[in-house]
Amino acid sequence: MQTYMIANPKGGAGKSTLATNLAGWLAKSGQRVMLGDIDRQQSSREWLRLRSPALPYIATWDIQPGQPARPPADATHVVLDTPAGLHGKKLVQVLKWVDRIIVPLQPSLFDILATRHFLDELLAEKQVRKHQVEIAVVGMRVDARTRAAGELERFLLNTGLPVIAHLRDTQNYVQAAAHGLTIFDLPASRGTQDWEQWAPILRWTGVG
C-alpha cells in the first residue's frame, strides 16, 4: 500500500485541493484509494459526501466500534489530508505511515516564511534523512513563467527539494470541488490544461 501525505503548516495552502484531486486521479486510474482526513475541519470528508456514487469510488477510514480508524483492508493507495500546524510528535507519528509527502506552497513571502521551519523539521526527521520518505513541493496558484515561480525555486534551492509542478489559479478547482468532483472528472474541453499541469505530479507519485 502506497501512502501519500499532503502537508503544510499554513492554512489555505491548497492541501485539500491536492489531496482530493490526487485521490480522484488514483480512483479514475482503477486503484482502490482511500482519502483520509486528519484535519479537524474534515474538509476532505465533507467533499466525499458531495461525491456522486456514479463517479470512480474513493473510500474513507474504516471505523469499527472500539477500534482505531484505519484504511480499508483492500486499499492499494492512501492519500492523507493533514491539518494546519502539523508538527512535533504528531508529525513524527504520521511520518511512520507515509511513503511520499507533497508540500503545496504558494509563492508569497508569508507562505514561504510559514513553511520554512516546517521543511527544516521534515528534513531533520530520521525517515527523511534515510530516504525512507520522499518529499516534493508543488507551487500553487502560480504561473511557472513568472518571477514569483522563480523566487519559489530560489527559496527551495538550499533544501534540495524539487518543485515538481506549478498549478495555475483557476476556478476549475473551486467549481469541481463544490460538486464532489476533481479536475479529472471534468470534460476534456475544460480539464485538458489542468491535466497537463498534473502530469509531472503523477509521474513523481509513480501512478502517472
Other residues' Cβ atoms within 10 Å of the Cβ of residue 126: 10
What's the domain count of the chain?
1
Write the pLDDT tens digit of every residue in 91-119.
777 778 888 999 999 888 888 888 888 88
pLDDT confidence of residue 67: 60
Q: Are 123 and 129 in contact (CB under 8 A)?
A: yes
Q: Are 127 and 95 in contact (CB under 8 A)?
A: yes
Assign residue 121 the CATH number of its domain: 3.40.50.300
pLDDT surpassing 70 at residue 64:
no
Find all residues with CB under 8 Å of 38, minimum gap 6, and list them: 80, 81, 82, 83, 94
Domain range holding 27? 2-205
Q: What is the pTM of this model?
A: 0.90
Write the pLDDT tens digit of every residue in 124-140.
877 777 777 888 999 99
Residue found under cell 515561480: 149
